[in-house]
Amino acid sequence: MSKVNISRREFVKGLAVAGAMTATAGTLAGCQKESSAAVPKKWDEEADVVVVGSGFAALAAAIEAKEAGASVKVIEKMPVAGGNSIINGGVVSAAGSPIQAAEGIEDSPDLMLQDMLKAGLGLNHPDLARVVAEHSNETVQWTINYLGVEYKDKAVHLGGHSVPRSYSTHNSSGSAIVTKQLAKLEELGVKVGTNRKMTRLIQDEDGRVKGIEIEDDYRFPDEGSGTVKTIKAKKAVILATGGFGRDLYFRTIQDPRLGEEVDCTNQKGATGEALVQALGLGATPLQLSWIQLGPWASPDEEGFGMAPHFAAGACFPYGVMVDPETGKRFVNELADRKVRADAILKTGKPAIGIADAKAAGHALAGLADKLIEAGVVKKFDTLEALAAEFNIPFDALQETIENYNRYVEQGEDEEFGKYFRSDIAPLGESPWYSVRLWPKVHHCMGGVLINTKAQVVSLDKQPIKGLYAAGEVTGGVHGACRLGSAAVIDCLVFGRVAGQNAVKEEAWG
Amino acid sequence: MSKVNISRREFVKGLAVAGAMTATAGTLAGCQKESSAAVPKKWDEEADVVVVGSGFAALAAAIEAKEAGASVKVIEKMPVAGGNSIINGGVVSAAGSPIQAAEGIEDSPDLMLQDMLKAGLGLNHPDLARVVAEHSNETVQWTINYLGVEYKDKAVHLGGHSVPRSYSTHNSSGSAIVTKQLAKLEELGVKVGTNRKMTRLIQDEDGRVKGIEIEDDYRFPDEGSGTVKTIKAKKAVILATGGFGRDLYFRTIQDPRLGEEVDCTNQKGATGEALVQALGLGATPLQLSWIQLGPWASPDEEGFGMAPHFAAGACFPYGVMVDPETGKRFVNELADRKVRADAILKTGKPAIGIADAKAAGHALAGLADKLIEAGVVKKFDTLEALAAEFNIPFDALQETIENYNRYVEQGEDEEFGKYFRSDIAPLGESPWYSVRLWPKVHHCMGGVLINTKAQVVSLDKQPIKGLYAAGEVTGGVHGACRLGSAAVIDCLVFGRVAGQNAVKEEAWG
């Protein structure tokens, strides 16, 4: 009975494939690959380091790898480089920065870490979050001194941060960083290959990632529209492919509430195939069902849009949000994103954000008019007209406003404990403004497990040789809920970490 | 450039491995296996259906497969059969049952489904939850009429269920079901092979699961203590291996708060290797980070213990729970499990559950004495003595009790909105009782994705041929939070579904 009918050689091979396993770990079922099947004899292209994606993390990785002397290829499946980073708001945390010092703000990586863990409800992997906090200032200074990124000169204070801690790019957009990253790469002689989609990670029988298969001249989203090619990665492949917010199938597996009727603030390419590829290779999944929704989004425009600025600038702090069926408020308009988004989803229909003339005056100048023109915000002479537009029972709505005004006057929200700013005023001055609000998928907190070197960790608890990842495709840095401006610094820090470590892999072939 | 350097044959093979993919899906990286490496030429044993695990789900699957004419093997890594089911409380939901009818209780699968979705915060996969609800009564009747399980004759009303809906076994333990399942299997000629641990799922190059590798005569938890053998599964392998609550590594990846200092109510064998194996094979993971904790558990006893009965019977409804550092209440003692457990974890130390003599009187007769003898509950002549024992600031504690008594008298908990039962009374009658409370891992809501036939669904969106799963190793039925008594019926229903469908697979070899 002790006869092992799997030949010893094959058994050992199975063990080897599973990586440098600890003596007690079981052998993983998957991925015993025939080398000849997976690894082509001849490759179409090659580089020391192949970076997949072209957002903050990808470009940071490519720059570091190139600066360390490696040959680098960057591929991007969309027709333009920049991923979701290029449409990001461009606010980046840095703990202990010169602009903080100039204002006498005391801060430290420890305090930033503490803020991240608090927001993450303890689901963060503290070792990963610490890497981000500790390298945050150094990395932002690198974007200034090395890349030439320009920021406004005042530290921004975002919710959940103990102190003003964030740099905001001069144009309030992540594009200010991405364009400088792209320019630096060009200067270094690295071009981003757009319209090139990774279709497969190629791994040998020992589990080492040796390269990728791509579709060249790929036309998103048409699978098979490109030409199949292979790229040999002599040292490593770095996945910096972002989240899966636009992958309807995968996201509804993780959170079935997020069906077609829920839009996404991300660019269309945030479809997560690379994450699925990595999982198929035995990468450890974590916290995939923690998908952050933006409660400030409107179903009357696509993607992130402009409504969030009106909702968050006027309706939430100074106005109210009601359920049109009841005419009543149903959640603290300033609760955290998750609480508000869950509450709206639970009502099963878009909520109505309401501002009177004074409240609307707190939004950015000209914003309301732009949104009215776009059909996203509506303007009414009377509250009654607003109620009629959305079939809100008017008596109930009027009572809601009366109650709310009483809370404002007494300085205490008896129903939901909303925080009242010092410049808040009772509602009543026409015209009235409305915006329909329905959450949109915003950020995937979960992804593949990496270690502090940005190596992807397999289910066998070991790094997958030759495979790195950084940014939203990974999980653990942010836990249950990421702080605003923490994602950008996560991408930049771990992108650099991935690039710096990938070049240290021993080259093969 | 259009030359495909992966030979066409190999490329097609890769596609085939990924299952019957849709035309647009990408090829998964993992699991392109060389048939000879994975599948032994000669197997040590064989059966049509191989069931891994021996709890409710496993045994239900084995019974169904055997009754349908298949040869069946059941393996269990622990020295005794029964898994976690045998130490379960033995309460099973059944919507529309005869005992409900006898009491005039109106119920339906739709109402049960609604209750499950509400508790699951919409994270449930509705198609899977519906299968459980719709087959709940039929399945409980099957346990009575076919297996001979004996239940008490009154429907139990557990939290979150709209109506009294659950059967409770005559001995208030899942063992009443498991022993009858085991007896039936023996009658059918199927023995559970204990001390047999699955170490590998064996899959051929087309992705079909063909059998498993085990350690025979395995001595938990010593990896390598057994003899390697292979079992051919001519039709299918069914994974019914339970949760991963005892897998410290994997659970802290998903929820880093659940380190060594957090115990687990499960039996020691709930270590999740089979889940990891299935993921390594490309099974789709879902909601792995949703791990339910029991807030009623004590660090002063191992596993589930008896403290939960005292905490939930006396301290929570009739007494208070305080933070020993502040002497103050910090959460509604009757909030849902997640809210309470999260609140205790956040304080960073065990909370103190407190009951006076009257409150303690609501616990099961004799329970307090047993727990005092075990050193889990402590008894004090005065509140001051209780405070001294745990270094609770006495003045603060006294104020807490005074405030609480005022809330009880006025019928409204001003601080946490706790529901007061009609027989509640102010605290003050000595002796006083204490129990230290620190959450324990109780149930893994997440797992692998299955379809309504209990087939495991791969990352390529297709069933993995020859692989089924049921019970806690799967995810999606319960969403964010499972209702009490819903896990048992989930196991029984999907165990049967798995067994019934596994026999329909075409046999190979």
Helix (H) or strand (E) holding A79: none
Residue A347 shares a structural domain with residue A478: no
Question: DSSP H helical segments within B21-88, as ranges?
Answer: 35-38, 56-67
Mutation for testing the B interface, residue in A8, A21, A34 having most B CBs under 10 Å: A34
Hey, are the CB atoms on A199 and B34 less than 8 Å from each other?
A: no
Hey, are the CB atoms on A255 and B123 less than 8 Å from each other?
A: yes
Residue A380 shares a structural domain with residue A481: no
Residue A419 shares a structural domain with residue A310: yes
Mutation for testing the B interface, residue in A214, A289, A344, A445 having most B CBs under 10 Å: A289
**pLDDT category of residue A434 using cuts at 50, 70 and 90:** very high
Residue A98 shares a structural domain with residue A180: yes
Provide mean pLDDT across the span A98-115.
96
Q: Which of A2, A26, A224 lies closest to B227 in CB terms?
A: A2
Give how far A27 is from chain B: nearest CA, Å: 6
Q: Are B149 and B177 in contact (CB under 8 A)?
A: yes
Q: Which of A420, A438, A456 is the last residue of a domain?
A: A438
Token pair, residue A383, equals: 């509250």
Q: Which of B1, B125, B216 lies closest to A227 in CB terms?
A: B1
Hey, are the CB atoms on B256 and A32 less than 8 Å from each other?
A: no
B400 is a domain residue:
yes
Question: What is the predicted pLDDT for the residue at A18?
Answer: 32
Q: Reply yes or no on whether the pLDDT at A36 is more than 50.
A: no
Amino acid at A449: L
Q: Reply yes or no on whether the pLDDT at A3 is more than 90.
A: no
B474 is a domain residue:
no
Produce one character per residue of A417-447: b if its CB has 16 or more CB atoms within 10 Å, e if not: ebebeeebeebeeebbbbbbbbbbbbbbbbb
Q: How far is CA B370 from CA B113, B305, B351, B374, B493, in A?
A: 39, 11, 21, 6, 36
Q: For residues A162 and A109, which has the higher predicted lDDT (pLDDT)?
A: A109
Residue A145 shares a structural domain with residue A263: yes
Question: What is the predicted pLDDT for the residue at B80?
Answer: 97
Q: Are A416 and A334 in contact (CB under 8 A)?
A: no
Q: Which of A394, A411, A438 is the last residue of a domain?
A: A438
Residue A116 shares a structural domain with residue A72: yes
A384 is a domain residue:
yes
> Quick check: helix, strand or coil at residue A193?
strand
Question: What is the predicted pLDDT for the residue at A28?
Answer: 54
Residue A308 shares a structural domain with residue A283: no
**pLDDT category of residue B26 using cuts at 50, 70 and 90:** very low
Q: Are B117 and B486 in contact (CB under 8 A)?
A: no
Q: How many CB pairs under 8 A join A and B?
A: 208
Hey, are the CB atoms on A280 and B30 less than 8 Å from each other?
A: yes
B456 is a domain residue:
no
Number of domains in chain A: 2
B78 is a domain residue:
no
pLDDT digits (tens, 9 = 90+) for A42-98: 999 999 999 999 999 999 999 999 999 999 999 999 999 999 999 998 999 999 999
Q: Reply yes or no on whether the pLDDT at B183 is more than 90.
A: yes
A92 is a domain residue:
yes
Question: If we measure between CA atoms, which residue out of B448, B130, B423 comes closest to residue B282?
Answer: B448
Range scoring the smallest mean pLDDT among A110-124, A403-417, B34-48, B257-271: B34-48
The CATH number covering residue A201 comes to 3.50.50.60
**pLDDT category of residue A24 using cuts at 50, 70 and 90:** very low
**pLDDT category of residue A335 using cuts at 50, 70 and 90:** confident
Helix axes A175-187, A56-67, angle to 10 degrees: 30
- How far apart CA A434 and CA A191 sit, in angstroms, is 46
Residues of B in contact with A342 (CB under 8 A): 121
Q: Reply yes or no on whether the pLDDT at B13 is more than 80.
A: no
Hey, are the CB atoms on A280 and B31 less than 8 Å from each other?
A: yes
Provide mean pLDDT across the span B238-262.
96
What is the value of ipTM here, to two decimals? 0.87
**pLDDT category of residue B18 using cuts at 50, 70 and 90:** very low
Q: Is the peptide bond before A221 cis (omega within 30 degrees of 0)?
A: yes
Residue A103 shares a structural domain with residue A152: yes
Mutation for testing the A interface, residue in B6, B251, B281 having most A CBs under 10 Å: B6
Residue A342 shares a structural domain with residue A205: no
- Whole domain around residue A339: which residue ranges? 296-438
**pLDDT category of residue B267 using cuts at 50, 70 and 90:** very high
In this prediction the pTM is 0.89
Q: Reply yes or no on whether the pLDDT at B25 is more than 70.
A: no
**pLDDT category of residue B14 using cuts at 50, 70 and 90:** very low
Provide mean pLDDT across the span B108-123.
94
Q: A60: how many CB neighbours lie within 10 A of its CB?
A: 32
Instruction: Report the residue of chain A nearest B39, measured CA to CA.
Output: A6
A274 is a domain residue:
yes
Residue A394 shares a structural domain with residue A457: no
Helix axes B126-145, B486-502, angle to 10 degrees: 90
pLDDT digits (tens, 9 = 90+) for A124-159: 999 999 999 999 999 999 999 999 999 999 998 887
Q: Reply yes or no on whether the pLDDT at A357 is more than 90.
A: yes
Hey, are the CB atoms on B122 and A3 less than 8 Å from each other?
A: no
Question: What is the predicted pLDDT for the residue at B436?
Answer: 98
B337 is a domain residue:
yes
Residues of A in contact with B2 (CB under 8 A): 227-228
Question: What is the predicted pLDDT for the residue at B38?
Answer: 74
Residues of B in contact with A34 (CB under 8 A): 32-34, 37
Residue A266 shares a structural domain with residue A313: no
Residue A428 shares a structural domain with residue A377: yes
Q: What does pLDDT average to over chain A? A: 91
Question: If we measure between CA atoms, which residue out of B105, B129, B107 comes closest to residue B118?
Answer: B129
The CATH number covering residue B392 comes to 3.90.700.10
**pLDDT category of residue A349 using cuts at 50, 70 and 90:** very high
Q: Which of A385, A407, A438 is the last residue of a domain?
A: A438
